[in-house]
Amino acid sequence: MSLKPSELAYVPFVSVENMMKLVHHIGLRRVLREIADTIEEDFKRWEQFDKTPRVASHSDVGVIELMPTSDGELYGFKYVNGHPANMALGLQTVTAFGLLAEVKSGYPVLLSEMTILTALRTAAMSALAAKHLAPANPRVMGVIGNGAQSEFQCHAFAEICGITEVRLSDVDAAATQKATRNLAGSGLTVTPCASPEQAMEGAQIITTCTADKQLATILTDNMVGPGVHINAVGGDCPGKTELHRDILLRADIFVEYPPQTRVEGEIQQLDADHPVTELWQVMTGQSKGRRDASQITLFDSVGFAIEDFSALRYIHAKAQETGFLQNLDMIADPDDPRDLFGMLMRSNAAG
């Protein structure tokens, strides 16, 4: 990408309102599928990217993170928080925004909300991983944790993996009722369940997406039989897990970026040298995903910067196509690049 100076004077901004308009204009499931396709394109060129674990600032109540990467042409980062106690205050557990910049000039080319976009890319990434790892022709998914991410997961798995039935469970019955209402008319058979065990009945895929910041055991070893795929979404920072350690010892584990996942994912419970497979290697054919029908596969999802880069890259193109954006006067643009002070002084005289 190489932009003219006139194109760099203003920064395209995708607000929450325009993100929602864009999703409805294109269609929710198409957006999920196309974000997944964009992520897969970028994972297949994995070695072109700068890679580093996200920079995290942890506190007793949550975490604030920066997630940067670059492919040499574009640089991107996401600011994101995770504060489970926010729900009791009527606030979102996760909020985010992101930026893309042109490496050649360093100028930003997109600023976007990413609270909605993170939910979309997380679900898209989950279903993309399952496309490579889940049993053939899965139809039933158990979803344990029915908060803000759950409906996105259900739609993504329906679109990308062919799921036709979801079985929902949450410690908060109101959350399950909310998800059930939101999925009405989705084409999915939706079954509210009283327990995780009930939600897993007949499921080929099990998704866990709880929010509590603690070493929890949402799934115990005896709950997981052979042949299932586990999509573990909720364990995404130090001290926060969802699966019993014995499940990990029985499963083939697939991760995004080991240096980050070993600190933040389910595998923080295991020895530092426990074998895992990187998903990009499965997507490029360098490693195998599912080998047989009895294998337990586990996607230890924590979210990685390249996924956000892909989502921003996708939204940048779609916002330009659809016009669902605003141009922000974010970059000082003096006629003479050396005369920033003169531009400031002239603005006062002009006023």
Instruction: Give me the active site residues, please.
Output: 236
Pairing state between β 277-278 and 241-243:
unpaired
Cβ(154)–Cβ(183) below 8 Å: yes
The 3-class secondary structure across the chain, one letter per residue, is CCCCHHHHCCEEEECHHHHHHHHHHHCHHHHHHHHHHHHHHHHCCHHHCCCCCCEEEECCCCEEEEEEEECCCEEEEEEEEECHHHHHHCCCCCCEEEEEEECCCCCEEEEEECHHHHHHHHHHHHHHHHHHHCCCCCCEEEEECCCCCHHHHHHHHHHHHCCCEEEEECCCHHHHHHHHHHCCCCCCEEEECCCHHHHCCCCCEEEECCCCCCEEEEECHHHCCCCCEEEECCCCECCEEEECHHHHHHCEEEECCHHHHHHHCHHHHCCCCCCCEEHHHHHCCCCCCCCCCCCCEEEECCCCHHHHHHHHHHHHHHHHHHCCCEEECCCCCCCCCCCHHHHHHHHHHHC
